[in-house]
Amino acid sequence: MRSGYRPSLRLKLIVAFAILSSIVVIGISMLVGAIASRQVERSSSAMLTEVAHQMRDKLDTGMFERFRDIGVAASLTKHLLGPGSADGWRSLVNRLQATYPLYAWIGFTDVQGTVVASTGGLLEGRDVGARPWFQEGLRGIHAGDVHEALLLAKLLAEPSEEPPRFVDVAAPVVDAGGNTIGVLGAHLNWQWAEEVERSVLVDAARHEAAEVLVVTREGQVILGPTGLRHTALDLASLRAARADGGGSMVERWPDGRDYVVGYARSLGHREYSGLGWTILARQPLEVALAPVSTLRQSILMVGLATLLASLGLAWFMASRLASPLARLRRAADRLMEVSGPVSIPLADDYAEVKSLSQSLDLLVRRLRDREEQVRMTVEAGQVGTWDWDMESGAMTCSDRCREILDIDGAIGLAAILDRVHVDDREYFGRSMDTISILGEMRMEIRTVDRAGETRWIDIRGRVAENRTRSARFLGTMIDITDRIRLMQELGDSLHEKDILLTEVHHRVKNNLQAICGLLQVESNRLRHNPEARERMHLIGQRIAVLGSIHQHLYTADNVAEVRIVDHFRRLCETLWGSYLDRPVKLTVDAEPLCCDLDTALPLGLIAHELVINSLKHGCADGGQGCVRIGLHHRPEIGRVVLTVSDDGPGPAEDAAAGAGLGLILLRALADQIDATVEVCTLAGYRTTVSVEEHRFSGFGAGAPSRRAWEVAAT
């Protein structure tokens, strides 16, 4: 196929119709096949599950009968003479073997494990006391799992490709006085299970290649195909059988093939509790689904014939649909060759193409109008436009671009780079190199015109593709020299205002510190008047609180807000340093809220008065006390709550009644910020100041969590 080839609509419709028909045919085949597969698989699973259950039931029933035979025979001992009656025991075991020839060996032992009598006289006089069947038989009726008996196999001398295997059944022999006098044991030839397998599979003969496996609780195969006997299996079907007893599934076996497997777990029968065997009945999946493959082939043959017949119809319909669209395409191509007004011819072959031709004609007219509007906007905004072919390097630009760059001749990247300021050329080059990666570009650079004047230019644009798929960069240029200069002037003005504001806060702080110094001097002169000296000291601390807030403002980035939590921390550290003789610990638990200066000053003074009061009276009975400061937002009531509490008894009664200057000042400050004050004297002394939440900021979904710290402790 030649380079740049684009298939026609007719070809696309034919191919699409062919693909759609193929999908329908294949889909129907797959759907029918899937349904048939599920039905066949379900039928095979049900059959194999039934085989597994039949095999389980026959094995359990057979083992129960042998279990009962030995148990009944052992119970007849009360009619015999005892362990010394070898002839009587020999007659009994021979009759038992005659009733069920698959008993390979039956014998009676005394309590020491010596065989007294057995079928065929085998092992008589031998000591079998170490054998598991004897030891378990002394305790009660016992059924043992499949095992090999090499010694007995030699004595039986039965021709076989592999050593014979046996299932043990044993029961204690008790005399009329209830004393155990021996054990009656039997070895059941495992050929019995193979006969059961053959009888079960005869009923399922219509299912080809079905096999039955018997697996012990340890996962050992004791009956099954020759290649799997005496091997250990770890299959999902085994785990499922142990979990839910019976069912079916499709799984992959160690030979790499998928099988439909029915499984059942041995549950025993009546008094016989079972040996924990798991019965697996399997059939290769490809054998089970063979009828489905034949059905799918038939459906595909019919579908192929239908597909060929429909392609002729598709060719005819595609030609009818594509012809009017081809006429519209030729008309659209003429639009690229003519710069003046051009209309789209009306095509009315069918409703859709008629509507399309009308819409295209209307679109062309609107694009012409929009082009004129854009041209007028660009001219009014003094915006230059440029078009750069990124493959050929050719560039066209508007007259405004030439005016901004002060270029008269041919324009290109080299000419633009020659105008870029020498300090910005490297940045300009890097930005142009990243256009093909990012697909767009925006930068502000300096240029130098022919008169040597430096100007700032905003250049931006993005990559577009034309009909030939070649990359083109469409961009704009704006002279932003006046804007840059204005921003610089605004920045200088803001810097001057910041300096002035900082100086104002600094001078206010210095003046407040000077006042504090004067109060300290006056306080030192009042040596003989402790009460007046204390009041002077408190006034100085209140002024220091105001100075601390102003210091926080002129050192913070935002001079409009005070971080009241940081102020509380500094306040507590300062006050604790002034009351080192008080055995009081200060702790703060507060949310990081901010407020303006009008709220911070009264709230800071309120906190000062309350903490001073707690430091004075916060020690109960002269011991160490604890002053706690909390600031929390209570959205359910729409307020911010400041609490100051301690372990002490609180101020004296006259102060609590309103005579103290601190409480008078507290109420005055609370009125300034419309706050309410509540006092509680239960379990210490606590003052709560509630302020409306609109005076604060810093809470909401993205607000940080609260802060908690211990300021100091003695």
pLDDT tens readout for residues 138-187? 888 887 777 776 666 666 655 556 667 778 888 888 877 778 888 888 88
Residues in the chain: 714
Which has the closest alpha carbon to 315: 8, 32, 532?
8
For residue 505, what pLDDT is reported? Answer: 64
Nearest-5° Cα angle at 32, 27 to 38: 125
Q: How many CB atoms lie within 10 A of CB 324?
A: 18
Residue type, 588: V
Burial 660-683, CB ≥16 within 10 A → b, else e: bebbebbeebbeebebebeeeeee
Which residues neighbour 648 within 8 Å (Cβ) at sequence distance 6 or greater?
Answer: 614, 617, 618, 619, 620, 625, 684, 685
For residue 417, what pLDDT is reported? Answer: 82
> How large is the average pLDDT for residues 96-103?
78
Half-sphere exposure in the Cβ direction for 419 (13 Å, CA) = 22
CB 478 within 8 A of CB 486: no
Which has the closest alpha carbon to 196: 384, 303, 62?
62
Where does the pLDDT of residue 578 fall: very low under 50, low under 70, confident under 90, or very high at 90 and above? low
Residue type, 297: Q
Half-sphere exposure in the Cβ direction for 688 (13 Å, CA) = 11
How many helices (H) and strands (E) would you count in the chain? 19, 24
Cα separations (Å) of 616 from 565, 579, 613? 23, 9, 5
Which tokens in the block code for residue 45?
A: 């699973």
Element (H, E) at 296: helix 290-337
Calpha distance 393→470 (Å, rounded): 12
CB 565 within 8 A of CB 590: yes
Calpha distance 257→280 (Å, rounded): 16
Q: What is the largest CA-CA distance in the chain?
A: 140
Calpha distance 357→225 (Å, rounded): 76
Strand partners, 484: none
For residue 691, what pLDDT is reported? Answer: 92
Which has the closest alpha carbon to 68: 341, 345, 271, 314?
271
Which has the closest alpha carbon to 671: 688, 654, 689?
689
pLDDT greater than 50 at residue 512:
yes
Which tokens in the block code for residue 37?
A: 């597969």
CB 548 within 8 A of CB 513: no
DSSP letter string over 188-223? EETHHHHHHHHHHHHHTTTSTT-EEEEE-TTSBEEE
Which residues neighbour 223 within 8 Å (Cβ) at sequence distance 6 or greater?
Answer: 190, 193, 194, 197, 212, 213, 214, 229
Nearest-5° Cα angle at 220, 132 to 196: 85
Strand partners, 625: 584
Helix/strand/coil for 113: coil
CB 86 within 8 A of CB 116: yes
pLDDT greater than 70 at residue 580:
no
Which tokens in the block code for residue 521?
A: 């001097």
Where does the pLDDT of residue 641 fall: very low under 50, low under 70, confident under 90, or very high at 90 and above? very high
For residue 149, what pLDDT is reported? Answer: 67
Strand order in the sheet with 142-148: 115-118, 103-110, 180-189, 165-174, 142-148
Nearest-5° Cα angle at 171, 168 to 174: 160
For the CA atoms of 551, 553, 554, 556, what is the dihedral angle to 10 degrees? Answer: 110
104 versus 340: which is more confidently predicted? 104
Calpha distance 224→230 (Å, rounded): 9
For residue 690, what pLDDT is reported? Answer: 92
CB 261 within 8 A of CB 284: no
Calpha distance 297→304 (Å, rounded): 11
pTM: 0.41
Calpha distance 41→31 (Å, rounded): 15
Where does the pLDDT of residue 654 fall: very low under 50, low under 70, confident under 90, or very high at 90 and above? very low
Which of 64-73, 215-224, 488-497, 627-636 is most confident? 627-636
Where does the pLDDT of residue 581 fall: very low under 50, low under 70, confident under 90, or very high at 90 and above? low
CB 344 within 8 A of CB 360: yes
Summarize the chain as % helix, strand, coil (round to 5): 50, 25, 25
Element (H, E) at 236: helix 236-244
Paired sense of beta strands 142-148 and 471-479, if any: unpaired
Calpha distance 492→489 (Å, rounded): 5
**DSSP classification of residue 457:** E
Give per-residue pLDDT as tens, 75-85. 776 555 566 67
Q: What mean pLDDT is reported for the chain?
A: 75
Give per-residue pLDDT as tens, 239-297. 888 888 788 888 888 888 888 888 888 887 777 777 778 888 888 887 777 777 777 77
Q: Is 105 exposed, middle or buried (0-12, 13-18, 19+ CB in 10 A)?
A: buried
Q: How many CB atoms lie within 10 A of CB 450?
A: 9
Calpha distance 496→518 (Å, rounded): 33
Element (H, E) at 281: strand 278-284
Share of the chain above pLDDT 70, in %: 75
Share of the chain above pLDDT 90, in %: 1
Give per-residue pLDDT as tens, 490-502. 877 777 766 766 6
Which residues neighbour 690 within 8 Å (Cβ) at sequence distance 6 or greater?
Answer: 637, 639, 640, 641, 642, 675, 676, 678
DSSP letter string over 553-608? HHHSS-TT-EEHHHHHHHHHHHHHHHTTTS-EEEEEEE---EE-HHHHHHHHHHHH
Paired sense of beta strands 584-590 and 471-479, if any: unpaired
